[in-house]
Chain A
């Protein structure tokens, strides 16, 4: 391998990319914009559920009960309705996702020791959101029950409130969330978005960069020169790998500084595996570019083989373990999943090589296989 020729190809490519406004935008601006937009936009937390209430009792106790919903950060109170009839309108128009209906004689029944039933209507269009809404309602309801019981014991047995509290719930449960202590979805999506931004940008850039030469005919400069296949491919890929490396740094800084995601793991491990992933993603672009002859085809095929699977199967939105068996199999076919494991692992979990070696090995295999395919697909003496 003659380094002077590699340098000639690489510096020519670098100049072309940095002087073409379209390429420059795709190379440096788009990944940061994706990170920014999706980082703020792709929030999966269910909070601020808008709801309306129908209070038929209008008693101090019913107000006390409903007040717990008004107070919660998970619910946004919209309006108190006169009757159930209006509730449908609110749900259908999407202005409310839940309706809480307190029956008549709510206070009277509870104080007299009879059970009362509060009806809750939840918009079930999105099962995930409906489930979470239900669990919030149950939690608030349980807390209210607990307090009623404590009040009752304090009143009837003459216990102090503290004592009554201990008696009613002898078995406490203490939950500690590990890794993502505040269970913020940004902490989990932002590291995965590093993967997404790299996986969309760099194959596209690489594919367009090579196919452009085929389209104009400047590829014949390479065919007819003494530069070897390896020298050309290495020289051609260096700028794109460098661009992606810069993007890794920019995206990492955005994650840590802008989205305040803690980085707990080894920076070296992150950098090393990021370089492997960058090689993989540019490798995809290279292989696509060698199979097609127009920029349009390169664009479409790259989107189909890299962007769509990345969104669906990489664990960006839905954890791979929650996918169906068939989808899980597909997820293992695309490199995105492995790198997502690595970014989440290094950002949030502080896990090392001992845990992540399988993912890193998978990426290394991808890089080698794609590189080998690219090398063999490229010929300086084609048939057409």
Chain B
């Protein structure tokens, strides 16, 4: 293995990209990106699907040609296959798609061995590294298990081991956390941070989760093939000065329309409104909002720092040079007002063979309510939706939708249900209009009703100007709204949305949620939505967290957070100069459950004031400096991680108890 020589220190810049352009036939995927990655940092590429992240990463990994610009890796110009070969021994590349680059019929051990031998890792080193990495990722118990039988989180960790088994100096990881549950995601970042610390590795990583941006040392935010912002999280924050004002206001719809006259970002999160203001001073920011609201009195108002996602949205809006079309919800003839529950699941169970995919799931959704079902891929969310839709018969329990038992309900019930699936279920070779008319035809609407609904959908989903475009050419966000329109063509009273926002950019997602909340508030439609974006779940009125087929927590977002704060304490954020060392020191000092976010450490504390003192003392004893400490609001991800960890602890104890 090549040891870094002492006389010639390795270059500080690992990657240098200038004016990078990538074109696929007529389509320009990336147009002119500049990028520099320093040794030893985690560099993040953030952006929605189709932003150009993968193209850029593949070109840096030397596995994709590009049209113009320069890509230098380890001071080698990557312009030919031959040149790319020269640096490949020092690179590790994990392509996109959870576990897709692994070999399903090979065991964990065999997968790792293959990657190691392909890279000529000596056998004795392989054994030692494998043991260490498997122990670190807690996969050592599953060495003989075929990769196809691993869970999503385990596949992701195995993918990471395989990419790093030859100890590359630069690891290029393309969306390693997409679709993985929050616990596994946190685990993943912890493992990566540890390896970074130990090996002095440099990492280039991409993500579609905006909330992961804080974990990077430096980052670039990509949109439609261009960099909108880059730098450290603090530098990116500085690009958009402002603050976020959150409060409750009734009537909400009236409040929103008043705020929209002056504010660019207004979001409804259940009963809470989040409004962006360029004012950084908390007092004047609050005053500005109150003045827009007029006689509506805001309740529980507080002013926070911007999230990076808010910064990105602001940047995107600045780029777009115009505010997003505010959804006009034309009033349709509301057929009937439902009384009672829109959806009720009672002890739903579904087995596939010996595997229990859904385990005694119960919840209720009222008309006009947005109910979020959260969980990782494979948690059982889609199975629940399928049972409530009557597509899949439950093994046990009952599902009631719009007052009908799904077991006995006939085809008539389908007229009251709208369903939008993960894959958007649109016909890509049809135009927007043809798609809408097709769905109208499927639901048996007559000509007059079809025309009426067509006009309604176009205006509701903001499809003006797209009517005769082929669906395949639409941007993801527009395609998603069209799919929503098609699911609403027959005016259902209950709407099921299965992961509707995967891969859509932040503005598109906010626009989509705007439509959903208006549908719920104005038309009284009950909405059941699943998502693995925890930050997005804040929009729901009521949430249920699913883990391994079970509901592990339920309530409104605020109530769930309050519950965790009561049980485990508040979120304390500590900024230090050497976060990796600090993390280890604090773990030695007896602090449990610390998560590393870039330069910051997060932990739950029942007594933040006292803990802060203890932390400062503990770190000072090792010569580490605390640059700042603050109490931060809990995120839903924190709630999920806390709940699942508690559950896993209990499971371990019961199995131990059973074994004893």
Question: A residues touching B (Cβ–Cβ < 8 Å)?
Answer: 2, 4-5, 7-9, 11-12, 15-16, 19-20, 216-218, 220-228, 379-384
Contact = CB atoms under 8 A, between A and B. Distances in A.
A225 B24 contact: no
A223 B61 CA distance: 9
B85 A380 contact: yes
Contacts of B146: 19
B105 A15 contact: yes
Contact of B84 (A2, A15, A228, A380): A380
B199 interface: no
Contacts of A216: 97, 100-101
A379 B82 CA distance: 11
Contact of B62 (A20, A218, A381): A381
A27 to B, nearest CB: 14
14 contacts: A2-B120, A5-B117, A218-B102, A218-B103, A220-B58, A220-B61, A220-B95, A220-B101, A222-B118, A226-B118, A380-B84, A382-B63, A383-B65, A384-B64
Interface stretch (B86-94, B335-343, B345-353, B435-443): B86-94
A224 B166 CA distance: 12
Contacts of A19: 105-106, 146
A218 to B, nearest CB: 5
Given A217-B96, A224-B63, A384-B24, A20 B88 contact: no
Contacts of A218: 100-103
Nearest to B123: A4
Given A217-B95, A384-B24, A4 B103 contact: no
Contact of B105 (A9, A16, A224): A16
B169 to A, nearest CB: 14
B214 to A, nearest CB: 28
Contact of A380 (B81, B95, B119): B81
A227 B115 CA distance: 11
A8 B93 contact: no
Contacts, number: 95
A4 B117 contact: yes
B114 interface: yes
Contacts of A11: 114
5 tightest A-B contacts by CB?
A: A8-B117, A224-B93, A223-B63, A19-B105, A220-B95
B36 interface: no
Contacts of B81: 379-381
Contact of A221 (B89, B91, B101): B101
Contact of B115 (A221, A223, A382): A221
Interface in B154-172: 162
Given A216-B100, A226-B120, 19 more contacts: A4-B120, A5-B118, A8-B117, A15-B103, A16-B105, A217-B95, A217-B96, A217-B97, A221-B95, A221-B118, A223-B62, A224-B91, A225-B118, A225-B119, A226-B119, A380-B62, A381-B65, A382-B63, A382-B65
B63 A220 contact: yes
Interface string B104-126: 01100010011101111000000
A87 B120 CA distance: 80
A222 B117 CA distance: 12
Contacts of B117: 4-5, 7-8
A88 B282 CA distance: 105
A227 B166 CA distance: 13
B178 to A, nearest CB: 13
Contacts of A2: 120
A378 to B, nearest CB: 10
A216 B104 CA distance: 10
Most chain-A CB neighbours within 10 Å: which of B80, B91, B103? B103
A211 to B, nearest CB: 14
A31 B92 CA distance: 41
Nearest to B106: A15
Nearest to A7: B117
Contacts of A217: 95-97, 100-101
A11 B106 CA distance: 11
Interface of B: 24, 58, 61-65, 80-81, 84-85, 88-89, 91-93, 95-97, 100-103, 105-106, 110, 113-115, 117-120, 146, 162
B88 A224 contact: yes
Contacts of A226: 85, 88-89, 118-120
A379 B113 CA distance: 24
A225 to B, nearest CB: 5
A121 B95 CA distance: 72
Nearest to A23: B105
A20 B146 CA distance: 12
B209 to A, nearest CB: 20
Contacts of A382: 63-65
A381 B63 contact: yes
B52 to A, nearest CB: 14
A16 B120 CA distance: 21
Contacts of A225: 88, 115, 118-119
Contacts of B92: 224
Contacts of B80: 381
Contact of A5 (B103, B113, B120): B120
A16 B95 contact: no
Given A216-B101, A218-B101, A224 B120 contact: no
A12 B119 CA distance: 14
A101 B91 CA distance: 87
Nearest to A221: B101
A220 B65 contact: no
A220 B94 CA distance: 8
B110 A15 contact: yes
Contacts of B89: 226
Contacts of B97: 216-217
A15 B102 CA distance: 13
A20 B64 CA distance: 30
A224 B60 CA distance: 10
B88 A381 contact: no
A220 B93 contact: yes
B114 A8 contact: yes
A20 B104 CA distance: 10
Given A5-B118, A381-B64, A381-B65, A12 B103 contact: yes
Contacts of B106: 12, 15-16, 19
A383 B58 CA distance: 11
A11 B101 CA distance: 17
Nearest to B105: A19
A381 B84 contact: yes
A220 B146 CA distance: 21
Residue among B61, B91, B110, B117 with the highest chain A CB neighbour number at 10 A? B117
A275 B631 CA distance: 73
A15 B100 CA distance: 17
A24 to B, nearest CB: 11
Nearest to B88: A226
Contacts of A380: 62-63, 81, 84-85
B103 A224 contact: no
Nearest to A381: B81
A15 B92 CA distance: 24
A148 B424 CA distance: 87
A131 B105 CA distance: 56
A383 B22 CA distance: 9
A223 B114 CA distance: 14
B165 to A, nearest CB: 11
Contacts of B65: 381-383
A57 B162 CA distance: 91
Nearest to B90: A226
Nearest to B87: A226
Q: Specify which of A7, A224, A384 lies most central, judged by the most chain B CB atoms within 10 Å of its CB.
A: A224
Contacts of B61: 220, 223-224
A366 B617 CA distance: 76
A381 B81 CA distance: 6
Nearest to B168: A224
Contacts of B102: 218
A293 to B, nearest CB: 13
A165 to B, nearest CB: 74
